Structure 1
Amino acid sequence: MDELDGPDHRHRRPPGVDDETVEALGSLSKALETIERARGHLYAFHQLTGTADLELDRTVGLLRGAGHESWAERVETEILGRNVIPGHWTFQIVEAYDGTYYRAFRQLEREAVRQLADGRDHLYEAEMKEARRTRDHPDHTARPDTPGARTPTAPFD
């Protein structure tokens, strides 16, 4: 492969790294990407629950304004500020997830890439790109800095 017509150095397989290792690291990366998505959903859960809890302030005020003091009191004492699971608000769930699972997962993935692939990320994807791209096509260049790469244009130009 021409040095200028392929992945940059940090996306090239180091000497001695076999196909199974590249596939295993690709699988580990895919699992981490799934965990990143799960973590995003956890943050969405945190934000949505917090938004609903803050809306309850308005609910209580509207109920009181409409003369429903007992309902306002129930919302205020039974739901407003309530734990979502015993002893936890959502921020505590996020913190526990991060501290117990997420950070450990990320650290292990980083360490595996450092030790097994000389710190080179996305080898599986880079090799897949090489296998799927059309050589000498301006929209299939190996890297952004490849001579002849097409410059992005405004939509519908």
Structure 2
Amino acid sequence: MRGTLLLLAALALASPAHAFAAERANVEFLNSGKPLPTNPPFSEAVRVGNTLYLSGQIGIDSGSMKLVEGGIKAEARQAMTNIKATLEAHGYAMTDIVKCTVMLADMSEWGSLNEVYKTFFPGRYPARSAFGTTGLALGARVEIECMAAK
């Protein structure tokens, strides 16, 4: 019986759930105040181990809640600039991004988004999903969220 209990205890320690629990102890909720004001009801990023999960960014001027003018390209450029600022504030770089999710208010603007997006990833692109939505915060044309890993 004792041998069985020891075996079960060893298996529990080796299980993915235990690995997640150990990793969960290293969760940090981060707000630098750079791209976003410091008071939104969410973290700009959450670090779990060496992985950084960024909240979605829209094309707002850094530190404000006002969208830049100029349409999809201007908003996409500002959203990507905000992502870069968030990464750098927490010790990461654009080259650390492994996955992005893009939400567009109008899927017909996908090509325009891509023109801007690819300038932030010269030669090496992260995995990406894109989909259309019926509405984004503040009437934005695009929202982009990313994951980075070291």
TM-score range, shorter chain: under 0.3
Query: Which structure has more RCO (C-alpha within 8 Å, separation ≥ 6)?
Result: 1
Q: Which of the two has higher C-alpha Rg? A: 1
Q: What TM-score does the superposition give when structure 1 sets the normalisation length?
A: 0.22
Q: What TM-score does the superposition give when structure 2 sets the normalisation length?
A: 0.23
Higher helix share: 1
Higher strand share: 2
